[in-house]
Structure 1
């Protein structure tokens, strides 16, 4: 059994802060836990916009608190985000994520992240080489 608290993960190498200063991610469950997915609590900072395009991962996101919106770039559709909203990037949707207020999000990634990933210049997380093997 794996048991971790958010507080202990926040005070460890499991907390990753973006170089852009728009978010941080507490990675509570990672690839080396061998569950087939990773689980994160991500904070989107108020007044920010982040370009994201997970070409190598599928992600589902549940908003715990705060408000913002997601805009899919392929069609320009804008979806409001508020507590209780779930959105699923099942088509590797390239998008802009905007935080109007600080948002706390519960995120699940498949394949799982290894732990230190940050978005590249295209909004992409690299695919872990071991996942391809």
Structure 2
């Protein structure tokens, strides 16, 4: 007899697995992905989030309270186990301006794009841009 389909969005930090999965251990990096659920008037927004396993018990994997993935539609939810953290970018040094400081000045970067990394912020990312003035960040 087939199991009934799960119709509620996938959310929270605990995944109940159908059985024991070899290789799942505390600290392992996973990627959870799927279509975002609960966005009003928007469909088809796909997200992927790197999460680290906080605890593994028989048939249950806890992703930890520090990094719950966003609520995702159950029909597109996937867990990817062979994941590593990686970024690609190039550090550049650029002089934006030299001269007398004036409050409210704005400067445009000559090179781009900027690199953003995942972060616990409202939009989920943080810029890697660093600005220094007279060796002060």
Between 1 and 2, higher relative CO (CA 8 Å, sep ≥ 6) is seen in 1
**TM class, shorter-length:** under 0.3
TM-score normalised according to structure 1 size = 0.25
Structure showing the higher helix proportion among its residues: 1
Structure showing the higher strand proportion among its residues: 1
TM-score normalised according to structure 2 size = 0.24
User: Is the radius of gyration larger for structure 1 or structure 2?
Assistant: 2
